[in-house]
């Protein structure tokens, strides 16, 4: 496909698209794993990486939904495009499914000394502001899906996460949210909301905020650990922006309408919403010195005091 010239110094904008974020960057031969690839910005993330030559494992809870996205991307591009899109059935509400998905990737990409490994892991999937529900493993749904399952997937894949043929460091990208600011503390003894829910203190948005704070803290501590071990793996977290997608499915029609009306000036398209994920995963200007950073609108941005506390980040990891 034709190469688009973009002034990368001007990418820091809420209007930047995923295509603009990746313009001029060579990802051919890289292997990417993307969770939540069958809806919202996950579709655009997978599409953009595949169009630019990466081999993409499209993670989806439903095999039918995931394959439908793959087929639609291929149909739009045309037969014979050679896109490398691989379905990865991955239900983040079931840790056994997470393990099976990781084993599929490892069998294909980490077997033998010449194996390609994984260069890009994009932890994109999530649930938002849902009522008190639990995963199949008994975890509070938002903490379990948004944080624990992604933590587990990363741990399973970490032995295979390594630079590609170009020698550039591999990257782990966590799609967080500005809602991480809703978390005023990180109760290590009640991350699963057992004590607070019994006391009637469960709040859908408070839980969402806690899970997104975990995403930012996870990125910071992963970056620290990889640096300490001398491993060429960078980690970033990000706020994608406000995008009206299936993520709002647990909200009533009235609440959705209110959100749409109140946030209209700041809303992004899915192409714009995926831009910061693509930027975090591929931008050459993000170096080891910035690893662990939180990004907004394709630029490094400050996060809350809580999510900047490395002691909390280390404690969460344990």
Q: Answer yes or no: are the C-beta atoms of 297 and 71 closer than 8 Å.
A: no
Residue 241, Ramachandran bin (φ over 0: left; ψ between -120 and 50: alpha; else beta): left
DSSP state string for 133-186: -B-TTS-BHHHIIIIIHHHHHHHHHGGGB---TT-PPEEEEEE--GGGGG----
Q: What is the C-alpha separation between 95 and 73, in angstroms, rounded? A: 29
Q: Exactly one of 57, 202, 208, 279 is catalytic; name it.
A: 202
> Catalytic annotation on 202?
yes
Looking only at the bridges linking them, the beta strands covering 120-123 and 170-175 are: parallel
Q: Which residue has the tokens 């993330």?
A: 45
Q: Answer yes or no: are the C-beta atoms of 307 and 213 closer than 8 Å.
A: yes
Q: Which residue has the tokens 């009235």?
A: 254
Helices 204-228, 310-317: inter-axial angle, 10-degree rounding: 90
How large is the greatest C-alpha to C-alpha distance in the chain, in angstroms?
A: 59
Q: What is the C-alpha separation between 169 and 175, in angstroms, rounded? A: 19
Q: Which are the catalytic amino acids? A: 202
């Amino acid at each position: 496909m034709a190469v688009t010239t973009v002034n990368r110094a001007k990418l820091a904008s809420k209007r930047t698209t995923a295509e603009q974020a990746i313009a001029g960057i060579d990802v051919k031969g890289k292997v990417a794993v993307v969770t939540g690839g069958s809806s919202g910005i996950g579709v655009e993330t997978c599409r953009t990486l595949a169009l630019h030559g990466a081999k993409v494992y499209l993670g989806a809870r439903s095999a039918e939904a995931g394959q439908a996205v793959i087929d639609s991307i291929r149909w739009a591009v045309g037969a014979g495009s050679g896109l490398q899109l691989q379905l990865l059935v991955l239900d983040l509400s079931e840790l056994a499914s997470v393990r099976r998905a990781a084993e599929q990737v490892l069998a294909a990409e980490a077997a033998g000394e010449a194996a390609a490994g994984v260069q890009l892991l994009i932890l994109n999937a999530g649930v938002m502001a849902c009522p008190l529900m639990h995963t199949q493993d008994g975890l509070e749904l938002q903490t379990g899906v948004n944080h624990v399952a992604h933590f587990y997937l990363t741990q399973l894949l970490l032995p295979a996460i390594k630079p590609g043929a170009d020698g550039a460091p591999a990257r782990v990208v966590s799609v967080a949210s500005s809602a991480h600011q809703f978390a005023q503390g990180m109760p290590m003894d009640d991350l699963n909301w057992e004590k607070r829910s019994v006391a009637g203190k469960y709040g859908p948005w408070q839980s969402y905020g806690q899970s997104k704070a975990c995403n930012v803290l996870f990125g910071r501590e992963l970056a620290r650990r990889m640096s300490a071990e001398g491993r060429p793996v960078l980690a970033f977290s990000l706020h994608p922006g406000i995008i009206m997608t299936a993520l709002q499915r647990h909200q009533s029609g009235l609440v959705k309408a209110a959100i749409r009306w109140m946030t209209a000036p700041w809303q992004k398209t899915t192409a714009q919403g995926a831009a910061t994920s693509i930027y975090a995963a591929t931008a050459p200007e993000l170096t080891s010195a910035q690893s662990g950073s939180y990004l907004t609108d394709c630029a490094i941005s400050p996060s809350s005091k809580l999510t900047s506390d490395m002691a909390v980040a280390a404690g969460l990891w344990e």
